[in-house]
Amino acid sequence: MRGLEIRAAFALATVAQIIDPDTDEMLMVVIDAECQGHIDYLNGEALPTMFEDEPVLRRAWKRGHRDGEYSAELEACPHCNAGTGNPCPVHG
């Protein structure tokens, strides 16, 4: 099931934060959820069911999804890919 591994890692990271507030495990889980959002955009997938009821994972996934959308926009932009070295008038 898509998102299950990240959701399980989220549960473990939540416990790890209680034991050690300085742990960075939650950051790693959030990054994984963002990456999943990016990949899901490219594959045309919706928010994983496993993320729906967890705001942290849902927000991270949506950030990644938006990033995937923006990356696709840049790849398709003729100004960004003109090869002139000049900044794109649309994207900078």
pLDDT value of position 22: 94
Domain ranges, ordered by start, for the chain: 4-76
Instruction: Please state the rounded mean pLDDT for residues 8-37.
Output: 97
Instruction: Please state the rounded mean pLDDT for residues 16-30.
Output: 96
pLDDT value of position 92: 79
Q: What is the pLDDT of residues 39-89, one digit of tens each?
A: 999 999 999 999 999 999 999 999 999 999 999 998 888 888 877 777 788
Range name among 15-19, 20-24, 71-75, 88-92 with the lowest pLDDT average: 88-92
Query: Taking the model in full, what pTM does it have?
Result: 0.88
Q: Smallest Cα–Cα separation from 29: which of 65, 54, 53, 1? A: 54
Helical ranges in the chain per DSSP H: 4-19, 25-43, 55-76
